Chains A and B, each alone.
Chain A
């Protein structure tokens, strides 16, 4: 019922890790087999459902002419720029709001409203404001991350127990010191969670915005390939999108969240 615990004796650690990796990869092997068999047996045309060979071929051609790297890089760049701006503005803004309990309470409904609207729903307005281009896509990413980050920062700051402020105060901490040493560490687990949620919305918004507003990026690649019924390119882009998010989430966000919560959070455990 529960995941198998790895052996506690040191010599078996490597074997365990290899076995775990194999167990992780095995389902994908099965999936590829099913895919190959399904295409071979049903004889579905390539323009409806591509074969594995077709996808590999698309990958080879697009790597060779550099377009795959170009599209992928454009998307990554937009995510990084958009979320960096959002972090630079969102965290200070959230802290400023959260530090006063009444201000925080006052703005919470507005923030919840904004979070629920953030991201994709802004696309029509963003194209009107920023035209068709990278700026619109970056704005959508910024927008999705920003509101989620501000909301969770406010939540995080206002969940810090009053006693901590008093303790810091009676130990002679000044306002700035309190912010740096009580507020930020105390709100950190929530901030990181907010970042992860916001990026989840942003990641979806990215492709929607790229499909509508630009002529570069993985979303546009998807859109363009659909126009020409190049399903092998569509599947290729989808696989790249999946791998990119897995890398980002598993290697960057989940460890960051787990570490922050272990380090500063007293509340819960993260899977």
Chain B
């Protein structure tokens, strides 16, 4: 996308930036490099005691606490719980959401009946379901899984419908006039055509889903990284709260950058005829 211009005037202070650009050819450097100055600022802020240490702990303490939590086996155990919940929630969402989404997208009656309900139930939002789910299913895995399913399934279905609508009419007509049956049209034109938008839907849904997971773990509070953070907060262990946040951030960042974004990109490249979402910088 970026056009390389040689003739743009570059002041001397741009040298570090140019150097940075040269190194940034390596994606690891590009992705992790920017965190180094932040890390330094963080260390400096703690060193100069800009904030009281009871509310703000430094990188050294966080690393020590991280090591300690891993050594004691608390963090790995909770992480496993959280991931298990997230994965099983996503699994059920896909199993239920994909067929339902296609039904709503393809069948006119189903669409007319389900679409307003879909909009409304999506608007209620997952977290608002927590209290009633707790009454129905107690403080259990079912409650957490249902909240995640609820979160993931709506963006997924909405995107499937949008994806189906986005398949150009011409393509469907072309397939028809070449003698394709209804199933063939669905399987060979609509599904591949809608795929990029569907993958985007999964990505959006997961973005909401893992937030719901944290909220559910804080409120349902039996185990998991969200629970660990809240538990640490109750005993005013600010360092452990920091550890939890960083673990969550790194985890989601890795999932998104290493699995979901490439998946989305490759789906769009392979099948995207509808539109091309803007590439990140």
Contacts and interface: CB of A to CB of B under 8 A. Distances in A.
A117 B131 contact: no
B215 A204 contact: yes
B136 interface: yes
B35 to A, nearest CB: 7
Contacts of B3: 162
A116 B245 contact: no
Interface string B6-40: 00000000100100110010000011111100100
B278 A109 contact: no
B125 A203 contact: yes
A221 to B, nearest CB: 9
A105 B24 contact: yes
B212 interface: yes
Nearest to B56: A129
Interface string A110-125: 1011101101111111
Task: Pick the most buried of B3, B119, B128: most chain A CB atoms within 10 A of its CB.
Answer: B128
Contacts of A106: 17, 20, 33-34
A159 interface: yes
Contacts of A212: 218-219, 230
A160 B186 CA distance: 37
A47 B21 CA distance: 63
Interface stretch (A84-92, A176-184, A231-239): A231-239
A104 B250 CA distance: 21
Contacts of B132: 226, 231, 234-235, 238
Given A128-B238, A204-B208, A226-B134, A26 B233 contact: no
A116 B252 contact: yes
B128 A246 contact: no
Give the interface size bracket for B toward A. Answer: 35 or more
A208 B218 contact: yes
A223 interface: yes
Interface stretch (A6-14, A27-35, A54-62): A27-35
Q: Say what secondary structure dominates the interface of chain B.
A: helix
A28 B281 contact: no
B162 A120 contact: no
Given A121-B245, A124-B218, A124-B229, A246 B275 contact: no
A211 B252 contact: no
A117 B249 contact: yes
Nearest to A49: B136
Contacts of B165: 2-3, 271
A207 B129 CA distance: 10
B245 A122 contact: yes
Contacts of B280: 108, 112, 155
B113 A121 contact: no
A242 B129 CA distance: 11
B74 interface: no
Contacts of A134: none
A237 B3 CA distance: 53
A105 B232 CA distance: 35
B55 A124 contact: no
A64 interface: no
A127 B226 CA distance: 14
B207 interface: yes
B183 interface: no
Interface in B231-262: 232-233, 236, 238, 241-242, 244-245, 248-250, 252-253, 256-257
B247 to A, nearest CB: 10
A238 B129 CA distance: 7
A62 B34 CA distance: 52
Nearest to B229: A124
Nearest to A118: B211
A231 B248 CA distance: 33
B156 interface: no
Interface of B: 2-3, 5, 14, 17, 20-21, 24, 30-35, 38, 55, 106, 108, 111-117, 119-121, 123-132, 134-136, 162, 164-165, 169, 207-208, 211-212, 214-215, 218-219, 226, 229-230, 232-233, 236, 238, 241-242, 244-245, 248-250, 252-253, 256-257, 275, 278, 280-281
8 contacts: A109-B31, A114-B249, A124-B244, A125-B245, A204-B125, A204-B126, A208-B127, A231-B135
Interface of A: 1-3, 23-28, 30-31, 47-48, 101-102, 104-110, 112-114, 116-117, 119-125, 127-129, 154-155, 158-159, 162, 190, 200-201, 203-205, 207-208, 211-212, 218-219, 222-223, 225-226, 229, 231, 234-235, 237-239, 241-246, 249-250, 267-268, 271
Report, nearest first, the 9 A-B pairs whose CB atoms are least far apart. Answer: A226-B131, A124-B233, A245-B123, A242-B124, A208-B215, A117-B249, A116-B252, A242-B123, A124-B229
Given A48-B135, A112-B253, A113-B253, 4 more contacts: A123-B230, A155-B278, A205-B211, A229-B135
